[in-house]
Structure 1
């Protein structure tokens, strides 16, 4: 029978695994810079923003809509389902902008004391430029959806203000991955789906290609930090990451979308929360991330319980 490593043995394994990344941080950043030079996009010119919406096509794959396969969904007309998908696409784009603005500030804080000529800092600045373009791209998509821009709740907005002010370095990269990887999973299902609006598919394709580099950068840095950071900082990261997962899971569905398509908000929220399909979607979207966080020792102690409460971890 295979023995389960004790915490010290696990920490030693993490240290051994991290020695390579610690030595080649600059090489990783250099490769990411080379990839950015070859595979970056300008959404203003890459996408046809003047094309009208395509009749009968979705703004999200229906399986990703919060109410999919609920009793309420089964009672909705096809037109109302399409309308809900359009509003939820705009709400996700709004969430993406909120998150990317936080991320850009976290990255600026990360590089503030580091060598400005290093590949590591150059790539961070490249990523910030990418995120600026993505935020503008999402804003244009919201306009094309002809919906409101869906802001997160005031308390969550203020929590974001706290996070970008006081977050530790490993906490910042853990939060980065939380925001990027679940949306990335959803977008990988969206851009090849021919049922979806061409513009939405183009937006998600650009985002997936460029976010793949951002995820690599954040994973490499978080792995290093969970070995080299002081123990108190590691423990704080585990706890703060769990709280962030709980908040982020709530933010994924903006209840105002239900008001705007003529549904009862309270009933719709209740059915979305009770939906086994929705729970499976969120856990599938988080699976690659939670496996990684578990491997590097983030999902331990009270933080793991918070992840379970969020619904993102089975």
Structure 2
């Protein structure tokens, strides 16, 4: 943990701008990161072997929880499934964090490096690099393969990270982070979940709270004065990105890797109203923010409903 950030108080006055109005959020985030950040290589217990008596995630978050198939599974099968599902969510997190890093780097390219927003952006990217390594090691310890989104989704992500900018990029970042944050807040407090997974979730929740604050602030700021056409376009772009992020979180191969009947598992997960209801209730705050930013248009609602986010 390093010392608090030193602020060059006259920096922005020299440019004729109000630092409290435009830069205070970035300064506070830098101060917070200096006071409370983690090193997963030392904070997470990587040495203790995995105890198969633990879940990888709160069982209520399993895609099969509440289904007839779930009721037929043994306790060991349920735990094996949640471990594979948690690893899949972590792998999807790595995929999107790599997209996030590239969008933020592109946004900050050739901008003023003395600006605290620039410095916070690099701090966030450093966080995401550590998180991705942490997720990768965690998934490996859970005994899972390298889960990846389907090839068409990977290519859509490649296009999105190249073309998305401004509020579309930051709002999509916010959606991905908020959905993961809701899950992990439950998992990190659940004693049924493997201790090292709970530590990973706690680290991610603490550090991502700063990332979400920045994404909200940037989304609002970049939408100031935006016209109706721009808002409509960005709303649909963010909604489509959100749909593919959320629907890629649990890979279709987790069921076979947990020793289940994959065809039956996928069929029951697809119509699992418990899981859909949990996703909707957990994302109410996110939807309120998107509505306040006027990014919850009728075309966008179609994709959020398909992803069971609203």
Question: Which TM-score applies when normalising by structure 1?
Answer: 0.90
Alignment of 1:249-264 (within 5 A): 249-264=246-261
Residue 94 to residue 103, structure 1, CA distance change in 2 (3 Å): same
- 1:26 corresponds to 2:23: yes
Residue 22 to residue 157, structure 1, CA distance change in 2 (3 Å): farther
**Number of residue pairs the alignment of both structures matches:** 293
Gaps (5+ residues) in structure 1? 1-20
* Alignment equivalent of 2:138, drawn from 141, 157, 167: 141
Gaps (5+ residues) in structure 2? 1-17
- Following superposition, the deviation at residue 144 of structure 1 comes to 0.6
SS of 2:290's equivalent in the other structure is helix
Residue 183 to residue 128, structure 1, CA distance change in 2 (3 Å): same
* Alignment equivalent of 2:114, drawn from 117, 124, 132: 117
Between 1:226-235 and 1:289-298, the stretch displaced more is 226-235
Residue 219 to residue 79, structure 1, CA distance change in 2 (3 Å): same
Between 1:125-134 and 1:299-308, the stretch displaced more is 299-308
* Alignment equivalent of 1:301, drawn from 290, 298, 301: 298
SS of 1:24's equivalent in the other structure is helix
Residue 240 to residue 66, structure 1, CA distance change in 2 (3 Å): same
Q: Which whole-Å CA distance do the structure 2 matches of 1:181 and 1:285 have between them?
A: 9
Instruction: Answer whether contact 2:277 2:308 (CA < 8 A) is retained.
Output: no
Q: Which whole-Å CA distance do the structure 2 matches of 1:226 and 1:57 have between them?
A: 45
How much is the aligned-residue C-alpha RMSD, in angstroms?
A: 1.6
* Alignment equivalent of 1:44, drawn from 41, 45, 69: 41
- Following superposition, the deviation at residue 301 of structure 1 comes to 3.0
Correspondence for 1:211: 208
Correspondence for 1:71: 68
Correspondence for 1:101: 98
Greater share of residues in helix:
1
Q: Which whole-Å CA distance do the structure 2 matches of 1:249 and 1:120 have between them?
A: 28
Between 1:132-141 and 1:112-121, the stretch displaced more is 112-121
Alignment of 1:125-274 (within 5 A): 125-274=122-271
SS of 1:105's equivalent in the other structure is helix
SS of 2:64's equivalent in the other structure is coil
Residue 28 to residue 273, structure 1, CA distance change in 2 (3 Å): same
Instruction: Answer whether contact 2:176 2:246 (CA < 8 A) is retained.
Output: no
CA shift digits 1:72-127 (9 cap, x unpaired) = 10011111111101111110110010010000001001111421110011000000
SS of 2:238's equivalent in the other structure is helix
Q: Which whole-Å CA distance do the structure 2 matches of 1:264 and 1:48 have between them?
A: 33
- Following superposition, the deviation at residue 174 of structure 1 comes to 1.1
* Alignment equivalent of 1:292, drawn from 289, 292, 299: 289
Question: Which TM-score applies when normalising by structure 2?
Answer: 0.91
Q: Which whole-Å CA distance do the structure 1 matches of 2:236 and 2:109 have between them?
A: 25
Q: Which whole-Å CA distance do the structure 1 matches of 2:138 and 2:118 have between them?
A: 30
Q: Which whole-Å CA distance do the structure 2 matches of 1:141 and 1:205 have between them?
A: 13
